[in-house]
Amino acid sequence: MFWHYEQLMGHSIDLLKKELLKKQEKILSYGQHKKYKDITWLLVMQERFTKWVELAPLRRATAPSVTKVVTERIILRHGRPESILSDKGTQFMSGQFTERLEECGIRHKTAPVYSPHCNPVERTNRSIKTMISQFVEKDQREWDENLLALQFAYNTATHDATGFSPAYLNYGRELCPPHPGEETRYRNIKIDTLPEKLDDAYALVRVRLARAFQHQERYYNL
């Protein structure tokens, strides 16, 4: 799933079926972890411009659960987007989901069937699957335990399409890492120059995203 703000960014939401993953490495998760029982689905949501990701584990991919997550994790956390792009899953085409978007004045766009390249979050899905596979514990049923840490890692890493981290484009600064000894990039940012720097960054991102889109379009038109 992908959502979009008209003047700045966009998000798309897509359901990613949890796969059986091999154990490769162990990661410490920070903060208090709540066990999720019988979690078999992962709702991946990404903002189109900044590439910010929200990961929501689900027991069942139903219309009520998806509508609740979109309301809490997108609308009430990041603000009402101009549009949301999703596939044509029954959860997204349901009356409840459609009604919520209409209440908020959000345009709902759908990607064509069997055309994953039309849904920008598909590439993110592959990255998230790889990250989960690297840090899954012995018990594969606990695949969701480190999702918050993985989400933090994704959002604080430089994205190859934009050249910036999603955190920087969202907050105008890099987030402090969990370990006190780790340095934060661009730590000493002057508040009075922040708007100008962000405007320059946004302009550069628009150019880079346009080039990436043109490259992808040529690839799929071969």
Q: Identify any residues that bridge with 3 across adjacent strands, giving them in sequence order.
A: 11, 84
Average pLDDT over the chain, rounded to whole?
Answer: 78
The H helix count followed by the E strand count for the chain is 8, 6
Q: How much is the average pLDDT of 8-33?
A: 41
Q: How far is CA 151 from CA 79, 102, 131, 221, in A?
A: 19, 29, 10, 33
Find which of 19-33, 50-64, 121-135 is predicted with most confidence, using mean pLDDT: 50-64
pLDDT at 15 over 60: no
The reported pLDDT for the residue numbered 20 is: 32
Query: CB-based contacts of 205: which residues, under 8 Å, 6+ apart?
Result: 49, 50, 162, 163, 164, 169
Tell me: domain 12-16+37-220, CATH 3.40.640.10, correct? no
Please report which confidence band the pLDDT of residue 7 belongs to, taking 50, 70 and 90 as the band edges. Answer: very low
DSSP run (H or E) holding 133: helix 121-135
More confident residue, 98 or 200: 98
Q: What does the block give as tokens for 179?
A: 């370990």
Give the least confident one: 81-90, 94-103, 117-126: 117-126
Q: Identify any residues that bridge with 151 across adjacent strands, giving them in sequence order.
A: none
Amino acid symbol at 145: E
Domain ranges for the chain, please list them.
Answer: 12-16+37-220
